[in-house]
Amino acid sequence: MTGAPLVAPSLLSADFARLGEQIATVMDAGARWIHFDVMDGHFVPPLTLGPLVLQSIAPAVHEAGGFLDVHLMIERPERQIEAFAEAGADGVTVHAEATPNVHYALAAVRDAGCRAGLAVNPATPEGVVIGLADAVDHALVMTINPGWGGQPLLPFTLEKVRRLRAALPKLVIEVDGGVDARTAPGCVAAGATRLVAGSAIFGGEDPAAAYAEIAAAAIGGA
């Protein structure tokens, strides 16, 4: 099947003044997928991280056996794939809404040697993932509207996860937004196998304990 659910800490909510230390903390606690949110000020209003930051964290993440899960919330992502692959991405996720050339972009991710992810916003139906299943290594179902951490999970998006799981029993399905120890079991019960969590992990005093709590809750939902 799709394996035990993995919790992927999202660096968006980390303290960037001590990014390396924050990554080490969650990886020591057991995290292996590190979620890296890229925003361009167009697809979503904020600007965040780019390949230079990815490049600076990649050696330590890879040395610890981690997977750099790059989530591109940018328009025309196909133009940036090479740069992120060269900077150390292991997976690159593009949004179905961000380019007229979604299949081309997914193929470009694989050509660059990375796992190809396809993300859908809350209003985008899951059919696009099902139609392109052969080109997709993992789906990312946005459980909030993209752009900001700390928003509550939109429950209707879990229905989409459920439909996607029914259509594609073996697909790796990631959920992103509003995941915490309280919402994680429902995400896993709906069929998610990767749970991105930002503010719930890095927003408090003890990211390692928060990671462990969400990971335990996720296993409880399996």
Sites of contact with ligand DX5 (CB under 6 A): 10, 12-13, 35, 37, 71, 144, 146-147, 149-151, 176-179, 196-200
Q: Which two tokens stand for residue 73?
A: 């919330």
CB 143 within 8 A of CB 175: yes
**Catalytic-labelled residue, pool 69, 90, 176, 180:** 176
CB of 95 to ligand DX5, least distance (A): 10
Q: Which residues of 19-46 are buried (b: 16+ CB within 10 A; e: fewer)?
A: beebbebbbebebebbbbbbbbeebbee
Among 176, 212, 213, 214, binds Zn ion (CB under 5 A): 176
The distance of Cα 16 from the centroid of its chain, to the nearest Å, equals 19
How many C-alpha atoms does 121 have within 13 Å on its Cβ side? 14
CB of 69 to Zn ion, least distance (A): 8
CB 160 within 8 A of CB 174: no
Question: DSSP state, 213?
Answer: H
Amino acid at 146: P
The residue sitting closest to Zn ion, measured at its beta carbon, is 71
CB of 71 to Zn ion, least distance (A): 4
What residues numbered 20-59 form the site for Zn ion, per CB under 5 A? 37
**Catalytic-labelled residue, pool 37, 40, 69, 90:** 37
- Residue number with CB closer to ligand DX5 (23 or 107): 23
Amino acid at 104: Y
Residue 15 annotated to the active site: no
CB 166 within 8 A of CB 146: no
- Residue number with CB closer to ligand DX5 (178 or 207): 178
Residue 37 annotated to the active site: yes
CB of 63 to Zn ion, least distance (A): 23
Interface contacts to Zn ion, rule CB under 5 A: 37, 71, 176
What residues are annotated to the active site?
Answer: 37, 176
